[in-house]
Structure 1
């Protein structure tokens, strides 16, 4: 497909904003933190929460976690549920996939400990079958440093320096140390997934056309699939629910005049450029993951990426699945320690009475296609073939009218002094 057509299709998706009453969800991105730190003249190391500081590297195991599968519902009742699973069951299910994406909160030590536990359990289950761990936290140019670390040629201090961690990622290196140690100990290759900051900054200034064609092709290896992915109603709903509110949050914070590299802009970054940077980021991680899977036919790629890149079906997992023969059947998405504020617009929603976690406060799915008799608002621009088109590019399963929050939800068992009551299942209308 000609690159001009590809770029035009991205613009169309970016400018479509459904007008029915979806709630929106926003997060503080790495670009936002970069802008905030640059504006304040600071270099950032973010603290972990008080709760996560109570955890030790040996204090979290997969078998002590609360685990649920999300069961979406495309009937007129729109009543998704969650089903509790054992650690043994989910390990067996995940190890049958080609790629598994664990959606993290970057500054949460608990999330990274849980990632380490999942990696160890999967490695134990797989035996001699190949496995790799992909990292959003590391940009592609630093792949040699990851190789050197796993091979034992450099240590953690040298790895932090070699990846320019404090300049390019900001969140504490120490929080990720359990993952690095597990991979080195077990001989699991580490894979750099992310776009180089210099390239992302160019896009934030001038959109995708600002990248040299060969650079764009290195990230977008499947231009026709990339274009088709942006043209579905499901994706447009996802953009309105996830990406547009994130842009608006950046506007309210007053940090859209700084790129990821700290370059100052004369005016706020346009939504088109912001959106283009976001989809390039997702496509880069999805494409790199899919390439490793294709090169390792019996392999399992475990991707460690931010929760916003995992949730509601149109982020990294779907972009990877689109490029694999098995589609969504070969990929799994997992949200780690999600809060209601990860799924709804109002971040003040933090739990039920007495701090209890209640799945009724979560948005477990996003409706993107009409469901006869559901009583919901019409989907702007919907077409009869919406479900088929979403399934064709691995955004949704065949016949589904909704985008589930994720395939699985995992919660770290709270440490002492923190008490929760876990409910087995609940439901909420999208």
Structure 2
């Protein structure tokens, strides 16, 4: 029997086990999800809080508490260094506690798992790895922010799992709906979609109203696309937990996917009964006192960041290469970002920056290294060419 056949057989067995568990997994929300008490307190950077009791913990006590659950979700704002540092400390803390841990990442689609395995085994260097997984194409945020966790996994031989769906498939669903997918595309995402969570649907509907993306057919296809992300990551985790003899998995994902639990966490629990915890990093200038147990289980307060020179030049968009070769397509505009304030819309095609042609994310990164405070982008919006000025000095 070949190695591929053995892996395929294990995967089939995992599906059988998961199918059997669908009928017995509890669907009610954990008690923490309906507890919204705000504890009277003053918090500062470095504080750790149990959101159920209001008890302050040391970071070591947090690690001991997290040792008791199967999955630890640590949400992030993708461009926030402090959030990545919290993730790193939790991964290191659980590993030092002697747990056999794995790390699940939102940043990569599960179609590149083979390349991620090569990275962990140390058989490819960083440049080869980033090229093989298409980091700029699939994610777009600088690898530097994620390097410490990826390097730690490589050094300690900690299994990693690419959890997400291919971005191109999610985009197609957003524009045309699930029914437009080919059989091959449908196999690349979750088999089952749970559309009965009213709170999650209402949350996504508010996002849709506030930031209507260009090129989206309607709210239903937009909601289906959000579920492509959450359900695929949930399915990937559930299958991994059945396949691998891991004590714990630490999941690194955007806060929108883990906070309030109705994104990934509860969708994993529908597939496989287990205990989990959600850790919420929050900066000390963002009213962390208002974070309740509706949002997560533990709060870690971080210091407000002062960007290093050049680091603060974040446009606030997720980008994809244009298949036709010209420019970069805006997949998503981050709410509250410079891009949103300047007038960028999802679907815009960035073709130049200060007159220089743009064909790769690295072109923008190089532009942002310059000392100038403003960049004028040439944008093609559904055939209409316009200029959008973004001021990075404010």
Provide the TM-score with structure 1 as the length reference: 0.57
Out of 275, 281, 287, which is 1:336 matched to?
281
2:49 maps to 68
1:321 partner SS:
helix
Who is 2:145 aligned against? 175
Q: Of the candidates 63, 69, 74, which is equivalent to residue 97 of structure 1? A: 69
Aligned to 1:364: 292
- For 2:227 and 2:273, the matched residues in 1 are separated by 22
Gaps of 5+ in 2: 1-44, 308-394
Instruction: Say if 2:283 and 2:304, in contact at 8 Å, map to a contact too.
Output: no
Instruction: Label 1:409 to 1:142 Cα distance change in 2 as closer, same or farther (>3 A).
Output: same
Question: 103, 111, 120: which one pairs with 2:83?
Answer: 111
Separation in structure 1 between the aligned mates of residue 136 and residue 175 of structure 2, nearest angstrom: 23
Partner of 1:145: 115
Q: Distance in 2 between the 1:239 and 1:285 partners?
A: 18
- What's the offset of the Cα at 1:285? 0.7
Query: Secondary structure of 1:148's partner?
Result: helix
Give the structure 1 partner of residue 189 of structure 2: 219
The secondary structure found in structure 2 opposite 1:411 is: strand
Structure-2 separation of matches of 1:166 and 1:364: 35
Give 1:387-426 correspondences, 5 Å limit.
404-413=294-303
How far apart are the structure 2 equivalents of 1:121 and 1:293? Answer: 20
Partner Cα separation in structure 2 for residue 182 and residue 65 of structure 1: 23
Is residue 294 of structure 1 aligned with residue 242 of structure 2?
Answer: yes
Partner residue in 2 for 1:285: 233
TM-score (norm 2): 0.62
- Are 1:66 and 1:413, in contact at CA under 8 Å, matched by a contact in 2? no
Q: CA deviation at 1:413?
A: 4.9
> Is residue 283–residue 303 contact of structure 2 (8 Å, CA) maintained in 1?
no
Question: In the superposition, relative to structure 1, how do residues 283 and 168 fare at CA in structure 2: closer, same or farther (>3 Å)?
Answer: same
Q: Quote the Cα distance in structure 2 between the aligned partners of 1:299 and 1:214.
A: 33
- Residue 410 of structure 1 aligns to a residue whose secondary structure is strand
- Residue aligning to 1:256: 214
Residue equivalent to 1:237: 199
Cα deviation, residue 105, structure 1: 0.6
Matched residue SS, 2:296: coil
Please say if residues 173 and 225 of structure 2, whose CA atoms lie closer than 8 Å, have aligned partners that are also in contact: yes
Deviation, 1:212, is 3.5
Pairing partner for 2:128 from 158, 161, 164: 158
How far has the Cα of 1:314 moved from its partner? 0.6
* RMSD after superposition: 2.4
Paired with 2:55 and 2:238, the residues of 1 have a C-alpha distance of 29
Q: 1:256 to 1:415 in 2, by over 3 A?
A: closer
1:312 is aligned to 2:236: no
CA contact (8 A) 1:67 1:86 kept: yes
How far apart are 1:161 and its partner, in Å?
A: 1.6
Give the distance between the partners of 1:220 and 1:289, measured in 2 at CA.
11
1:406 partner SS: coil
Specify every segment of 5 or more residues in structure 1 that has no aligned partner in the other structure, as ranges: 1-63, 72-80, 258-267, 340-349, 352-356, 366-403, 418-430
Give a deviation string over 1:368-404, Cα, whole Å, max 9, x none: xxxxxxxxxxxxxxxxxxxxxxxxxxxxxxxxxxxx1
The answer (yes or no) to whether the contact 1:292–1:301 under 8 Å persists in 2 is no
Offset of residue 102 of structure 1: 0.7
Q: Helix, strand or coil: the match of 2:250?
A: strand
CA–CA distance in 2 between the matches of 1:332 and 1:182? 22
Residues of 2 paired with 1:312 and 1:321: CA distance?
14
1:219-251 CA-partner distances (Å, limit 9, x unpaired):
334x3xx43xx32xxx212321x2112212322
| Distance in 1 of aligned mates of 2:130 and 2:281 | 24
Q: Distance in 2 between matches of 1:156 and 1:114?
A: 23
1:35 corresponds to: none
Q: Could you tell me how far 1:407 is from its partner in structure 2? A: 1.2
1:130/1:296 contact within 8 Å kept: no
